[in-house]
């Protein structure tokens, strides 16, 4: 696996990111066993970036990713998204600091 610097962060990221949109998805996504097998093979190949979002599978993707990364979270760069409105009735639920902080707080644990 080749790595590239991520902007000026100093982080070295794999040239291929692993997308976790189907992890834990209730409508025919991957089982946790299948997701673990894919993540393990990706990691064995040198991969170190997992892409997920708080709205993939109604939040289940981040939960599954968090469980799969338990004990090895520091070896990965976790990419997540926060721009989707969590509560359409909340006028402050869009793309701004409040939603970003909330998303980070609820993102997979270290």
**49-74 pLDDT tens trace:** 999 887 788 778 888 899 999 999 99
**DSSP one-letter code for 73:** G
CATH number among 3.30.70.330, 3.20.20.100, 3.40.50.1220, 2.40.10.220, domain 3-106 = 3.20.20.100
Spell out where 1-110 has E strands.
3-5, 12-14, 18-19, 49-51, 77-79
**72-92 pLDDT tens trace:** 999 999 888 777 766 778 887
Residues known to be catalytic: 56
Is 20:65 a contact under the CB 8 Å cutoff?
Answer: yes
Tokens of 59: 């939040």
Q: When comparing pLDDT for 28 and 73, which is higher?
A: 73
pTM above 0.85, yes or no: no
**DSSP one-letter code for 108:** P
pLDDT range class, residue 4, cuts 50, 70, 90: very high
């Amino acid at each position: 696996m080749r790595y590239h610097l991520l902007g000026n962060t100093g982080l070295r990221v794999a040239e291929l990111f692993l997308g976790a949109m189907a992890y834990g998805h209730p409508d025919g996504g991957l089982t946790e066993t299948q997701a673990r097998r894919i993540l393990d093979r990706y990691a064995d190949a040198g991969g170190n970036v997992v892409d997920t979002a708080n709205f993939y599978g109604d939040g289940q993707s981040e939960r599954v990713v968090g469980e799969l990364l338990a004990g090895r979270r520091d070896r990965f760069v976790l990419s997540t998204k926060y721009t989707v409105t969590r509560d359409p009735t909340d006028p402050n639920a869009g793309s701004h600091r409040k939603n970003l902080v909330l998303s980070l707080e609820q993102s997979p644990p270290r």
